Amino acid sequence: MAPLEQVTPSKAAIRLTHLLDVAFDESSRFPVDVPSIATAVGSQFKLDDEITVVEAANLENFEGGLFRLEPGRWAMLYNEQLKSPGRVRFTQAHELGHFLVHRLLQDEFHCSQAEVAGYEAQRKAMEAEADEFASTLLMPVKQFKASLAGQAIDLDMLSTASKKFGVSLTSAALRWIRSTEDSAVLVLSSDGFMNWSVSSDRALKNGAYFKTRGRVVAVPDGTLTADQEKASCRLGERLPLKMWFENAHPDAVVREMKLHCDNYGYTLSLLHLGNGDKVWAPRDWNNGP
Ligand SMILES: [Zn+2]
């Protein structure tokens, strides 16, 4: 086997996906049972290491972790009191990603969402890689695209997909926005301000993105998301694209969908733009993001 430093997150996930596609029929293929894969993967891939313990550990500020117990033996821990089974599954898959991609670099991985912002650069990259592995393993591109094929995207479809794959709606929406050829923007906001935003490749090329890192960005007035009276609109409403992006053509229209999650106190919004609608400020037309 190639040295593990060369194993990329998506390669590791795709290799496992091929094995699972063969081992399971369609009715039992999803959601992926991460703990049983975790304990089998060491011998399956003929690694020098294996995960021998997969256990819940409900500690404060702890989502999950991976720890070397002794040479060749590792333990995967996860917090089962996370808000949803989908979050628990994603955390387990994230730790499996650390095992397959990063275990030669460190003996311990402590993972919690709250700390991600404070990690140094290398640690941030490892966390992003473990997330990429988890997303690819739990929602393989072929089956994920097939589950959404043939219709214009909406939050109902993404919600149905999230149940099939056993992940949170946010994870399914992120998987879609990172793999679609459509122009679309995903925004997570609370109390009228954006927590983060992710744009599809095409939306980025058309200037449709929000820079939220380290900044306070308000949800624009007049948008569906800003309307406190409406908790949810899964299928979407059409409104002038200018409401979201001031430099849009006056005739351009965006389909805006939103879902307010009381449990979490945030609103997930999906903006579906026309593929040809560019929203660069006039002076930025020839510049990239
Ligand atoms: Zn991690």
- Structural domains for the chain: 4-138 (no CATH), 155-284 (3.30.450)
> Residue 144: how many CA atoms within 13 Å on its side-chain side?
25
Query: In the prediction, which pLDDT does 75 show?
Result: 98
Query: In the prediction, which pLDDT does 285 show?
Result: 55
Show the tokens assigned to 232.
């949810």
Ligand 1 center to 98 CA (angstroms) = 7
Ligand 1 center to 247 CA (angstroms) = 39
Ligand 1 center to 19 CA (angstroms) = 24
Residue 273, Cβ neighbours under 10 Å: how many?
A: 27
Residues of the chain below pLDDT 70: 1-6, 83, 113-120, 284-289
Burial of 269 (0-12, 13-18, 19+ CB in 10 A): buried
Query: In the prediction, which pLDDT does 18 show?
Result: 95
Ligand 1 center to 242 CA (angstroms) = 39
264 contacts: CB under 8 Å, gap ≥ 6: 83
Query: In the prediction, which pLDDT does 289 show?
Result: 53
